[in-house]
Structure 1
Amino acid sequence: MSDLDQLTQSLARNLKRWRSERGFTLDALAARAGVSRGMIIQIEQARTNPSVGTTVKIADALGVSIATLLDHEQGPQVRIVPESQAVRMWSTPAGSRTTLLVGGEARGPVELWSWTLEPGEGNASDPHPPGTVELLHVTAGELTLVVDGAPHPVPAGASAAFEANVPHAYRNDGPDPVELIMSVSIPPGR
């Protein structure tokens, strides 16, 4: 597949996904973006390569960056944030501090969880509704995060973000207990 074909397929897939997650009809997105309904249909069917200007208008109307709209990664995205890349927001000489561990773009209900997994144990989850995002931070041990069949090691001190609309699981394949905190952001019902 050529780079242009891959870009066309990525744009088609991502436009459908983001339009669906935002709950926009073809007509609603066309009105918001100032492009024709027919152009959006052609893009979603991977039958055209729109101009940069049209692509920017659509990205703006969806509230996503053009990079997000053109992202060609296949499958669910998992982002592991090593402890060294967490962002220290502020600290005091006495030791008070805040650290942004990981973030993501989401809307709707949010849940906060505390997990402990003993060695050899795990928990599998069915796919959540499209648009559901999970953020987690491992405080002890090493978690094996499995997203759509792909394992991702997340050591103590690291964080991860992933789209949870595919099968996923949490495993402790190591000799020590795993402790983590997790936030689940669920899109609002339509």
Structure 2
Amino acid sequence: MNKKVNITTDSGADASVINEALSAAVREYRSQKKMSLDELSRLAGVSKGMLVEIEACRANPSIALLCRLAAAMGVSVADIVNVASSPCVRIITAEDIPCLWRGELGGSARLLAGTSGPDMVELWEWKMHPGETFETGSHATGTHELLHVVQGSLHLTVGEESFTIGKGAAAVARTDKPHSYTCEGDDPLIFTMTVSERAR
């Protein structure tokens, strides 16, 4: 099985826009809080060197790193990549939906929309090709993911347990443990995912 973990966007426009947004968010947060790189590094569990690269817009952050930084700064990933909700209604055009992961075989994960702040809900669309896997660490305690398989078969692993979710089926998973998604079988996989996470 081909396996690539936490590849983020390619070298195209998505990566550049996301890197610039994250760089600006980290700089603004540190400025507002009068916080040193060392302090944010400890708070987020991200190395100081990585933070320097992020602020200089030279890093290509994984989804897991985006999540850790967002949680440490009290915002959502949707806030950082500018697909968060407004007080009433916010329409996000197809062109403005960021791709935050690309698999080595052409798969993708797009953050379609999300709410602002540390208590957040996100809506994702995942497309994976046979053999592709995405692995990530634990989310905050009590985080849940709601998954619906539109096409193909999803192999979901949470901690030590594994499950297969077929076309048309749905699942609720508590993802405060390391977890992974794999495209199982010979057909491409498409699934939607809603993430609900509360601030620690």
Q: Structures share a fold, TM > 0.5?
A: no
With normalisation by structure 1, the TM-score equals 0.42
Name the larger-Rg structure. 1
> Normalising by structure 2, what TM-score?
0.40
